[in-house]
Amino acid sequence: MIINRGKTEEKIAESYLKWISARDKAKEDSPKESTPVTPVSLEIEEPFILTYNDYGKELITKSNELFKGTKAEISIDNLQANQEIPNMYILKRLALITTICKDPQLKNYGFLPITPLQSEQLLKQGKLPKPDQYWEDLALILYDLNGTNPKEAQASKQSLQEHKQELGLSNSDLESRLLIINSGLEKDSSMPNKVKPIILPGLTQVYAHETLKKTGEHKFEYGLEHGWPGASDLGKGSRDLYMPSSNENIGLRVLYRYGGLYLVAWYEDLVCSYLDGRVNFARQKL
């Protein structure tokens, strides 16, 4: 099954309401003492969708100064005060992360886009802001060097090799499929979108995971292993995980959450043009 980002909100909302109802009923039926505690989730404070308020204006202005003339530049044309920032795809997200990492004032505010794990935890807690109304690109996935986005895949691999020690990666890890969280960007005129992904030391997280070897569609409930469902959790639950259809020539892909229901790990476009993309932020330790 192919997930189309242009799918109508009515269909997403209907599926989402059914899932919410099933989730809430499961919570009521479960004994309170059996509810698992996830310590990391307790650190997530006040998630919010990036808007064109004072913080959003400062962040976007500084990000656009760094990435002017690239596909990571964020348009502010016709934006109203306090309007949610639309059309946020993965390269724009990574530009914001990079800008925060490089700017002491922004870093001092303590806000950062949420990670895939935090996305799942907030969804489970019912604290993710209106997730049925948008999608959110969350991270990059480096499957191999031979498929989609080959230049960006090669740049990611090179940066991973340069920082493998501080990332705690072995040589065998570098040959695995890798989830890359909080990747940064660097301007590069030789790249299709004029930017390339890089590792931000101290901020970027990289994980190999068994589920990245899967193909096709799988049922799951929550992805609580770095934002992924464990292999033993697949086939259980009411949500859908969409993996690539084959196990070779995949390249560099985008992990995104759609409508609070779907988790999609095969998306090819680093610069999706639909308006419904958003970025959730939360106060975090930087």
- Which value, to the nearest 10 degrees, does the dihedral of the CA atoms of residues 193, 194, 197, 203 take? -110
Residue 41: predicted pLDDT: 38
Strand pairing category for 217-220 and 262-267: unpaired
Lateral strand order in the sheet of 239-242: 205-208, 178-181, 135-142, 252-258, 262-267, 239-242, 217-220
* φ, ψ of residue 112 in degrees (nearest 5): -155, 150
Domain ranges of the chain: 37-283
Residue 42: predicted pLDDT: 40
Partner residues linked to 253 by β-bridges? 141
Residues 120, 263: Cα–Cα separation, whole Å: 10
Residue 274: predicted pLDDT: 82
Per-residue model confidence as pLDDT tens digits over 52-74: 999 999 999 999 999 999 999 99
Which portions of the chain are predicted below pLDDT 50? 1-3, 7-13, 15-20, 22-23, 26-42
